[in-house]
Amino acid sequence: MQVNIFDAIKSKTGAMAVFLFKGASLPTELRALDKQLGGMIEMARRTADFKEEKNEIMLLYTGGLLPTPRILLVGLGEAGKFDATVWARAVGTAAAALQSRKICEMAILIPAVAIKKLGASRTGLTAAKAAGVAAYQFSKYKTDQEAVFPPFNFFGVAGLAARDAKNFLAGAAEGAAIAAAMNFVRDLGNTPPMEMTPTALAQTAKNIQKEFPKVKVTVLEKAEMKKLGMGGVLGVSLGSNEPPKFIVMEYFGAARARGVNVFVGKGITFDSGGLSIKPADRMDEMKFDMLGGAAVMGAVRLIAAQKLPVNVIGLIPATENLSGGSAYRPGDILRALNGKTIEILNTDAEGRLILADALSYAAKYKPKTVIDLATLTGAIVVALSDQYAGLFGNDEKFLGRVLSAGASAGDAVWPMPLNEQFTNLIKSEVADMRNTTAGKSEGGGASTAAAFLKEFTSFPWAHLDIAGTAWSMKPQSWIRVGASGFGVHLLYELAKRFV
């Protein structure tokens, strides 16, 4: 996606988006434009057709009064509530609305308040990221080309002072790169599970190595995992004919003496629940159960593309969880890489089993920090809906950095409790621990899952349960259904804090 800066009145793009606060006077940057239009914008504001609510749109036709044939009015809501999220959703709404009308280019008139509140660089980053994410469509399998939107290939900007243009463009370039990384992850998640197998996910990592030689990729096969003692990954994989893969991505952008930080991502490429089978309703969405691993892969790729001077390791245990004749059973006991034994009460609590091996493997790097991302529990969706990822961990300083990175990225996270009370709920009579609680009355499923993972950490660690945020089948005006790309920008921002 190209980004240019030019004079508002002279814009020749397919449409120009202008942004309006509810009930506010027409801002300075719009007065000259509206004068050229004979007061068309002010007239639209006085009608009941356009109320300037958040993400409300109204399309006007300029009738030759301007080089651009269309003006798209976009509501920002109340001026006092304007922030980066409001700005992102407004720009995304504009991009998606125009693209759905087969208009693949637009200019936006930057509101002065955006530069004032966010700064030129962040305004540019947020806008370019939002446009890139909103214009994404997964159309690989569509045969009706009329149902396919054109790629969004031009994003122009008007209304910027010269002193802000350079910073805006630098931010926009970074935002476009972030959007591309998120869309890369969305492609992985939206691909049918019969194609996005553990083998295919591992091959994707190898392709990244070809594109960015600084990313060294190693894929541990089943025999190597047996030799190491990765009983969690191997146990979960028993019901599938697809071989498991353990993907290691190493990026050293700084001196090795500076140490490493590790990203871990759950890579269950399809989750039927195993013998503790899930209900049929919405089981198709379980192709998204690898989005934690995909986010790690996309983040490492983005960090390499942006040449950040940091050292990051990505670990992605990948397997299917099916119910074939060799599948592991409730009542079985698995031994993780670090030697701890796990009693299986429910084969649908499988993500924590493969993460146990990955977290144990992370210890070999003597990491400064480790963060894992996983679509781990339905309980976190009950607690936080699709609005936040749940944040758990064992180090307050590191958790603060994750919260800060999430706020900067627009990936909303919420701190959740993790204490001995939850650890006690996963104690086993026949093994070191069990993979879930014994009954259904204890509650706190997201916290007990995090307590399980904590048993495999010996370093500053954070866990993000992204089950509510990694995908959505509810369309929004600023993003289409399917995988969301959540976590990529957060990990990238976190990596910038390692510099």
Length of the chain as a residue count? 499
Interacting residues of 455 by C-beta distance below 8 A, sequence separation 6+? 340, 356, 423, 432, 433
- 397 by Cβ neighbours in 10 Å (0-12 / 13-18 / 19+) ranks as exposed
352 in catalytic set: yes
Collapse the DSSP code of 197 into the 3-class scheme (helix H, G, I; strand E, B; otherwise coil) and give the result: coil
Q: H or E stretch including 227?
A: helix 222-228
Q: How many CB atoms lie within 10 A of CB 209?
A: 17
Q: Furthest-apart CA pair in the chain: how many Å?
A: 80
Query: Considering 352, 434, 454, 480, which one is annotated as catalytic?
Result: 352
Residue type, 301: R
Residue holding tokens 């006085």?
Answer: 46
The answer to whether the beta carbons of residues 410 and 488 sit under 8 Å apart is: no
DSSP string, 290-357: GHHHHHHHHHHHHHHHTT-S-EEEEEEEEEEE---TT---TT-EEE-TTS-EEE-S-TT--HHHHHHH
278 in catalytic set: yes
The answer to whether the beta carbons of residues 445 and 465 sit under 8 Å apart is: no
Report, in this order, helix, strand and coil percent for the chain, each rounded to 5.
40, 20, 40
The answer to whether the beta carbons of residues 270 and 322 sit under 8 Å apart is: yes
Query: Considering 206, 278, 335, 496, which one is annotated as catalytic?
Result: 278
The C-alpha atoms of residue 115 and residue 121 are separated, in whole angstroms, by: 8
The answer to whether the beta carbons of residues 56 and 72 sit under 8 Å apart is: no
User: Could you list the active site residues?
Assistant: 278, 352
